[in-house]
Structure 1
Amino acid sequence: MSEKTVKGPASYFPSIEKKYGRPVGEWQELIRRSPLTKHMELVGWLKSEHGMGHGHANALVAATLAGER
């Protein structure tokens, strides 16, 4: 039985859900509905409006813009 190690932005997802109390899908929907479109604008918005740390915000935005979940 082999466990698949999650790499890249998705590796942050469990800690994002635990720390900020929302499922990743909810965060991604907020990002998609935002009028902002640029990566760093979205990262800054998550940090300033939602109190998210840079690494977590960056991972969510990267995954969302790449069409991942």
Structure 2
Amino acid sequence: MTAPVKGPASYFPAIEKKYGRPIAEWKELIRAASPTRHGELVTWLKSEHGLGHGHANALVAHTLAEDAGR
């Protein structure tokens, strides 16, 4: 039995459904963006791409955590 997804990744199915882009594409956009701080990236996703705060926060948190682990 597979454990349920927790944390920021738990938002990913809803993000893909609501905004029509795969998570990998959102991560590419975040990594290519000129702001690099968490709050700036969240604000950018909200203003430029119309994401809600929770969805933008989840994408940024997950992407930055992945990059920190590299």
Q: TM-score range with shorter-chain normalisation?
A: over 0.9
Alignment-derived partner of residue 20 in structure 1: 19
User: Percent identity of the aligned residues?
Assistant: 72
Residue 3 of structure 1 and its aligned partner are, at CA, apart by 2.4
Q: Deviations over 1:12-47 (max 9, x none)?
A: 000000000000000000000001110000000000
Q: Comparing both structures, which one devotes a greater share of its residues to helix?
A: 2
1:49 paired to 2:70: no
- Amino acid of the residue matched to residue 60 of structure 2? V
Structure 1 spans left out of the alignment, 5+ residues = none
Measured on the aligned residues, the alpha-carbon RMSD in Å equals 1.0
State the aligned residue count. 67
Alignment-derived partner of residue 3 in structure 1: 2
Structure 2 spans left out of the alignment, 5+ residues = none
